[in-house]
A and B are shown apart, each in its own frame.
Chain A
């Protein structure tokens, strides 16, 4: 496996790519909740096993609800939408029909709502990426995981921690609501050359 570093040009290209997809996803989320979605600048970095746990994964480990979408094909990796416990519950209740504030935990209905939200957002990103990269991707069925305690399975992220990966980390919050979250993207380095080539980034160190 080639060992390479992420130069500024590549980082910029990737940031722009991810920004595009995330913006489209945020528009879908905004349409759902009826509120403006505020995005932060994507944080792009390489992750190697043994590195100090990067902020994105740190965030992931603190998350209570994670919706994962694993993909493969010309690009391999996973996309995830993460919420802290309060935010996941607040978002699900906001979108539910009766907005019953007495519901204080994610039950089957609220989990279903969050899974669809993740589906919409992650589909937006992946649709954008695959359009931009002309990639043909295959998607597993999305899954939702509730992390009750440290050590609960994180789905694809458990595998990613043992591999080198390119990580995209975008934080957002819903305006006027106490809802925040993160969109995490992980691309296996095996698929990166093709990705970079598609982006017309000239070199790989």
Chain B
């Protein structure tokens, strides 16, 4: 049975079309197939397709061809499963390569025994697919690589972040370490500075110690020289005193010799006292126990007093001796008049001492400088002057400009040292300009404190008490009974000698005896005054005075002590004494003090000075 197949229509399709029957006999073979297979349609029509293409006779194919034929279902032979149904060489590509085909077979519409097979050439598509797959594989590979790279990158980023953190930590650590290092360096530098400072300080200390040692050695040397000098100075008058006392014992000496000996003893005794006073002064200053008062003082009156006091010596040496004032000086200043007097007496005394001819002038002026104002007093002489070497040692204690000068001019060698220290305590100093053989100018400056100007006195002012005039008038001291308490027999005898001339007395060699005698005399003839030595064996003056005061004894007790230091007076007064006298005893002072404490002096008694 034939079926009209429109061959012309089939030839126009880009598919390979073959129509065949159940026996696989070909009924149509279009030009596309002719072109693909190279088999002319005429050659194939009505021939057995199974013979040409044996695959079609395989059961798997035959079975599905039967389904199509009997059930009318379309049957697909996919390229993926079959590659091709008809083995046709590929139109391009390598030799031996077959065309890749997708083949549909279904029953020809309107026929019950013909099947139409349409073949689509997918060779190109499959090549492209293969390339796409390769590309895709590559892309997937790339993707995997990228993912790996990304993963690595992520890991690197994580690591970078960690490293960064570590780096940050290291940077911070390093910064911290650098800070620490800087701090250590600064510490080291500071330590080095301290060390250098310490070394400098040590060096300075060593230098100071060396200087101090040298000074100490020099001081020790000076002190030794001073002691030697003092020893000499003390021994010299002592020798004279003792020697002339021996002369006085000689039987048969004339009255002139006796008077001469007595005057020599007195002169040397006074010189000895001056030496001891100087030693006490320098000792007080050096130990810081010298106290300075500030009293309203008239400088003009003070200087005039001193000029008056010392004029006799100038007259004696036929020297011109006068006081001048430059400009306007204060009417009053605030100073210690006693100490200022001591300084000026020393300087003027020196000037008079070391000037053989010419003049000694005292020039006073005010150097105004507000709170730094100074009162300046120049003592200008035309004396022997001094060398530079002599100047250098001038103010050192225990020295003189020249130790040999002591021999010639006498003195303790302490006067200038004392004066310089006193001037400093008064807020000034002593300076010297001198020329050997031509004379010297000693300049003392002091702090005048609060001053009043002009220099015309309008109100009473305190001045240094002028030296007491030698008492020449008789003093009342009759009927007075004095108890002399002293462990030294000579002193008891000396005091007895003084008292005996004007009143009654008794003696005691220690405090205990004194207490007993006072008790014994209370009810018969009580003492009017007790002269109490303070340092005695058995019972000293302090204790004895205490006992008497506790027993209600009101008799005035005058302390006698060789301790002339500040504080001794207070100590004695605290013990119950009424007044204080220092040894050696000044006769005049002794008698006037006794008069002061006796209530009923006898008018016919007279005290005379030596």
Same complex origin of A and B: yes
A contact set with B: CB distance below 8 Å:
32, 69, 92, 95-97, 100, 102-104, 107-110, 112-113, 115-116, 119-120, 123, 126-127, 130-131, 136-139, 141-142
Closest to B77 in A: A116
A92 and B79 alpha carbons, distance in the complex (Å): 12
> Is B424's beta carbon under 8 Å from chain A?
no
Q: Is the CB of B81 within 8 A of A113?
A: yes
CA distance A100 to B74 in the complex (A): 29
Query: What CA separation (Å) do A80 and B591 show in the bound complex?
Result: 164
Decide if A123 touches B132 in the complex (CB within 8 Å): no
A142 touches B74 (CB 8 A): yes
A108-B125, A112-B78, A116-B81 given; name 20 further pairs at CB < 8 Å. A69-B73, A92-B80, A103-B133, A109-B126, A109-B129, A110-B80, A112-B81, A112-B102, A115-B78, A116-B78, A119-B74, A119-B76, A123-B75, A136-B72, A137-B71, A137-B72, A139-B72, A139-B73, A142-B74, A142-B76
List 30 A-B pairs, Cβ < 8 Å. Answer: A92-B80, A95-B80, A97-B80, A97-B83, A103-B133, A107-B129, A107-B133, A108-B129, A109-B80, A109-B126, A109-B129, A112-B79, A112-B81, A112-B102, A113-B80, A115-B76, A115-B78, A116-B78, A119-B75, A123-B67, A123-B75, A127-B67, A127-B71, A127-B73, A130-B71, A131-B71, A137-B71, A139-B73, A141-B74, A142-B74
Cβ contacts under 8 Å, A95 to chain B: 80-81
Closest to A120 in B: B64
Chief secondary structure at chain A's binding surface: helix
Question: Which residues of A lie under 8 Å from residue B174 when comparing CB positions?
Answer: none
In the complex, whether B104 has a CB less than 8 A from a CB of chain A is: yes
Do A107 and B132 touch across chains, with their CB atoms under 8 A apart?
yes
B67 touches A116 (CB 8 A): no
From 133 to 152 in chain B, residues with beta carbon under 8 angstroms from any chain A beta carbon are 133, 136-137, 140
List residues of chain B with CB within 8 A of the CB of A107: 129, 132-133
Q: Which residue of A lies closest to B80 (CB)?
A: A113
**Closest CB of chain B to A176's CB: distance in Å?**
20
Among A69, A116, A138, A141, max chain B CB count under 10 A is at A116
**Helix, strand, loop or mixed for chain B's interface?**
helix
Contacting residues, chain B, for A108 (C-beta < 8 A):
122, 125, 129
Closest chain A CB from B158 CB (angstroms): 29
Please measure, in the bound complex, the distance between the C-alpha atom of A64 and the C-alpha atom of B102, giving whole angstroms.
Answer: 23
A139 touches B137 (CB 8 A): no
Q: Which of B367-381 contact A (CB under 8 A)?
A: none
* Distance, CA A119 to CA B133, complexed state (A): 26
Asked if A139 and B78 sit within 8 Å, CB to CB, the answer is: no
8 smallest beta-carbon distances between A and B, as pairs: A113-B80, A116-B78, A112-B78, A109-B80, A123-B73, A119-B76, A127-B71, A112-B80
* Contact partners of A126 in chain B: CB under 8 A: 71, 73
- Chain A residues lying within 8 Å of B83, measured Cβ to Cβ, are 97
Which of B70, B71, B129, B133 gathers the greatest number of chain A CB atoms within 10 Å? B71
Most buried by A among B78, B80, B81: B80
Distance in Å: Cβ of B83 to nearest Cβ of chain A: 7
> Hey, what's the 0/1 contact readout for B94-118 against A, CB within 8 Å counting as 1?
0000000010100000000000000
Residues of B within 8 A of A112 (CB): 78-81, 102
Chain A residues, Cβ within 8 Å of B67: 123, 127
User: CB distance B140 to A102 under 8 Å?
Assistant: yes
Pairwise interchain contact A109-B71, C-beta atoms closer than 8 A: no
> In the complex, which residue of chain A has the Cβ closest to the Cβ of B102?
A112
Contact status B104-A141, CB under 8 Å: yes
The complex places the Cα of A95 from the Cα of B81 at a distance, in Å, of: 7
* CB-based nearest B residue for A130: B71
Name B's A-contacting residues (CB within 8 A).
Answer: 64, 67, 70-81, 83, 102, 104, 122, 125-126, 129, 132-133, 136-137, 140
Shortest Cβ distance from A43 into chain B, in angstroms? 25
- How far apart are A29's CB and chain B's nearest CB, in angstroms? 13
In the complex, what residues of A have CB within 8 A of residue B78's CB?
Answer: 112-113, 115-116
- Inter-chain CA distance A25–B4, complex, in Å, is 35
Min Cβ gap A11→B in Å is: 26
Alpha-carbon distance between A116 and B103 when the two chains are bound, in angstroms? 10
CA distance A112 to B70 in the complex (A): 24
- Per the bound structure, the CA–CA distance linking A69 and B76 in Å amounts to 12
Which residues of chain A come closer than 8 Å to B64, judged between CB atoms?
Answer: 120, 123
Q: In the complex, what residues of B have CB within 8 A of residue A139's CB?
A: 72-74
Cα A100 to Cα B73 with chains together (Å) = 31
> What residues on A are CB-neighbors of B76 within 8 Å?
115-116, 119, 142
Q: Smallest distance from the beta carbon of A28 to chain B beta carbons, Å?
A: 9
Q: Which residues of A contact B81 (CB under 8 A)?
A: 32, 95, 112-113, 116
* B75 engages A109 (CB within 8 Å): no
* Residues of A with C-beta under 8 A to B73: 69, 119, 123, 126-127, 139
- Cα separation A185 to B247 with both chains bound (whole Å): 180
Nearest CB on A from B20, distance (A): 19
Looking at B79, B132, B140, the one whose CB has the most chain A CB atoms below 10 A away is: B79
Residues of A within 8 A of B80 (CB): 92, 95-97, 109-110, 112-113, 116
Please state if B129 and A102 are interface contacts (CB–CB under 8 Å). no
Instruction: Count chain A CB atoms within 10 A of each CB in B72, B83, B104 and give the residue with the most.
Output: B72
Give B432 Cβ to nearest chain A Cβ, in Å: 123
Knowing A95-B81, A112-B102, say if A138 contacts B137 (CB, 8 Å).
Answer: no
A residues within 8 A CB of B77? 116
Cα A36 to Cα B122 in complex, Å, equals 32
Query: In the complex the two chains form, what is the Cα distance from A109 to B129 in whole Å?
Result: 8
Asked if A109 and B72 make an inter-chain contact with CB atoms under 8 angstroms apart, the answer reads no
Q: Which residue of B lies closest to A119 (CB)?
A: B76
B449 to chain A minimum Cβ distance, whole angstroms, is 118
Q: Which residues of A contact B133 (CB under 8 A)?
A: 100, 103, 107
Please measure, in the bound complex, the distance between the C-alpha atom of A126 and the C-alpha atom of B140, giving whole angstroms: 41
Q: Please give the distance in Å from A75's CB to the nearest CB on chain B.
A: 13
Residues of chain A with a CB closer than 8 A to B70's CB: 127
Task: Give chain A residues whose Cβ lies under 8 Å from the Cβ of B72.
Answer: 136-139
Contacts of A115 in B (CB 8 A): 76, 78
The distance in angstroms between the C-alpha atoms of A104 and B144, with both chains bound, is 14
- Measured between alpha carbons, how far is A137 from B107 in the docked complex, in Å? 12
Cα A73 to Cα B473 with chains together (Å): 187
A29 to B403, CA, bound (A): 151
A137 to B67, CA, bound (A): 13
A124 CB → nearest B CB, Å: 8
Residue of B nearest to A96 (CB): B80
The interface residues of chain B lying within 8 Å CB-to-CB of A32 are 81
CA distance A109 to B136 in the complex (A): 15
Task: Report chain B residues within 8 Å CB of A97.
Answer: 80, 83
Residues from chain A with Cβ under 8 Å of B137 in the complex: 102
Q: Which residue on chain B has the smallest CB distance to residue A32? A: B81
**CA separation between A136 and B76, bound complex, in Å?**
21
In the complex, chain B residues whose CB is within 8 Å of the CB of A120:
64
**What's the nearest-Cβ distance from chain B to residue A128, in Å?**
9
Chain B residues near A102: list those with CB within 8 A: 137, 140
Q: Which residues of B contact A109 (CB under 8 A)?
A: 79-80, 126, 129
Shortest distance from the beta carbon of A131 to any chain B beta carbon, whole Å: 8
Nearest chain B CB to A120's CB is how many angstroms away? 7
